[in-house]
Structure 1
Amino acid sequence: MRDRDSAVFNTIQQTPNLRSGLADRLIAQIESGDLKPGQRLPTEQAIMEATGVSRTIVREALATLRAKGLITTRQGLGAFVSNDPNPRSFSIIPTDLESIDEVLRVLELRIGIEYEAAGLAALRRTPDDIARMQKRLDALDRAIQQGGYGAEEDYAFHRSILVATQNSYYGRLFDTFGTSMVPRQWMRLDRMTDAERQRHTTRMRKEHYAIFTAIRDGNEAAARKALRNHLSRSAARFESLRDEGLSR
């Protein structure tokens, strides 16, 4: 490995969230041009020595970069920066959400997207859109009552809001994320008492129905306010979990 490559790589620092920290640093070096297209990455052993992380963490970080199309591997030669490392489309994959801090960043993104979408949906919704949203809420209620997380149903409800904008790009954007946009597993519902779970689901249902009612009634300002309140309160709940030391 050339001295310059070593110097660039050795700027990687350990972080509390080791895999994402290593992946993020490599991504930053690729995007900045410090690691250039076609350049060979250091060996796994060199990465371990430079960062102090385990071989498992190194391999998971490299797998994240491969999934994003930023690196390629060649049998017997190692890993190389892709010749065209700039991603052709934006995506969020499950390994992007391995900490509560990352979930909070996704929620910030969602607020930006869905806040505007809720207002547009209130202005443009059709009777079919209203019926679709009601159906999605009913499905979410059933999933929760049956003891599930309702991630799929929650995703479907929020997507129905985007569909109601009559702008297909909103729905297509959401589709690139899938249920990663609704990381219910982080809420630790299985650790709640029955009373805590009931309070949580009642609050979530109230927030969802506030959004739905505002869109149904064509109230643009109220729809935006209800959507922002819902996602902001979700963010506050995740921050509380982080502060309680439940992040991985």
Structure 2
Amino acid sequence: MADKDNAVFNTIQQAPNLRSNLADMLTAQIESGDLKPGQRLPTEQAIMTATGVSRTIVREALAALRAKGLITTRQGLGAFVSNDPTPRSFSIIPNDLQSIDEVLRVLELRMGVEYEAAGLAALRRTQEDIDRMQDRLDDLDKALEEGGYGAQEDYAFHRSILVATQNYYYGRLFDTFGNIMVPRQWARLDKMTSAERKRHAARMRREHHAIFAAIRDRDEPAARRAIRSHLSKSAARFEELRDATA
């Protein structure tokens, strides 16, 4: 590898946070021009040596850059900065969810992703995954019992399902969206009576516990049914709200 290809990485110090930030670091170097269009990236081994992260982390970071259109790979030659490194990324931001129709479109997307993820999680989950899911479920139960929205806890529970697939792309997809995947601005708890709030909380707990139990018991069909039922009922509630406010 030419010295100029390695120069960017010669000064990188090994640090604990590089595990999660390697892709961001490479993106910043491309966007700043430190890594120029057409320039060959250092080898995986060189990046590992410079940053102290594992080969798996390096490959994940390079895959993320390829998905954004920032780099290309050439058979037998390695990875190169794209000649036109314009990021190609997809995200959902809060402004996208200003109508119930947009919320329903997001729920359709979630159903497609999470239906498959729940089945995979039931087949592949480890005891560590189950413990994590149980903790997230307990947090959600507590938030609902205290009369809160539980949006952040809801998001964390659903993300723990994606992690249990053992396919890191699922979790990374959810991370792209963040907890706006659970649009609490439309929950309208403040307009519910005390009895309605209790029914809402009980329904939420019941649906999430059914998903958890199916994955815990390695029941793939039941896991898929439970997640589809939960998201379908959420969609139905939003449709009712849309019709009521039309």
Short-chain TM bin: 0.5 to 0.7
- Indicate the larger mover: 142-151 or 89-98: 142-151
Q: Which runs of 5+ in 1 are unaligned?
A: 1-83
Q: 1:191 to 1:86 in 2, by over 3 A?
A: farther
After superposition, the C-alpha distances for 1:73-122 in whole angstroms (9 at most, x for unaligned) are xxxxxxxxxxx897611100000000000000000000000000000000
Correspondence for 1:24: none
Does the 8 Å contact 1:210/1:226 carry over to 2?
Answer: yes
Alpha-carbon offset, residue 143 of structure 1 = 1.1
Partner Cα distance (2:86, 2:204) in 1: 38
After superposition, the C-alpha distances for 1:8-64 in whole angstroms (9 at most, x for unaligned) are xxxxxxxxxxxxxxxxxxxxxxxxxxxxxxxxxxxxxxxxxxxxxxxxxxxxxxxxx
The TM-score with structure 1 as length reference comes to 0.64
The TM-score with structure 2 as length reference comes to 0.64
Correspondence for 2:119: 119
After superposition, the C-alpha distances for 1:132-183 in whole angstroms (9 at most, x for unaligned) are 0010010011111222111110000000000000000000000000011000
Partner Cα distance (1:191, 1:151) in 2: 17
Runs of 4+ in 1 over 2 A off after TM superposition: 84-87
Correspondence for 2:239: 239
After superposition, the C-alpha distances for 1:164-221 in whole angstroms (9 at most, x for unaligned) are 0000000000000001100022020111001001001101110000000000000000
Correspondence for 1:178: 178
Does the 8 Å contact 1:149/1:185 carry over to 2?
Answer: no
Partner Cα distance (1:227, 1:233) in 2: 10
SS of aligned partner of 1:218? coil
User: What RMSD, in angstroms, separates the aligned Cα atoms of the two structures?
Assistant: 1.4
Q: 1:86 to 1:204 in 2, by over 3 A?
A: farther
Correspondence for 2:105: 105
Does the 8 Å contact 2:147/2:197 carry over to 1?
Answer: no
Structure 2 counterparts to residues 18-33 of structure 1, below 5 A = none
- Indicate the larger mover: 88-97 or 137-146: 137-146
Correspondence for 1:41: none
Q: 1:85 to 1:100 in 2, by over 3 A?
A: farther
Q: Which runs of 5+ in 2 are unaligned?
A: 1-83
Partner Cα distance (2:200, 2:148) in 1: 13
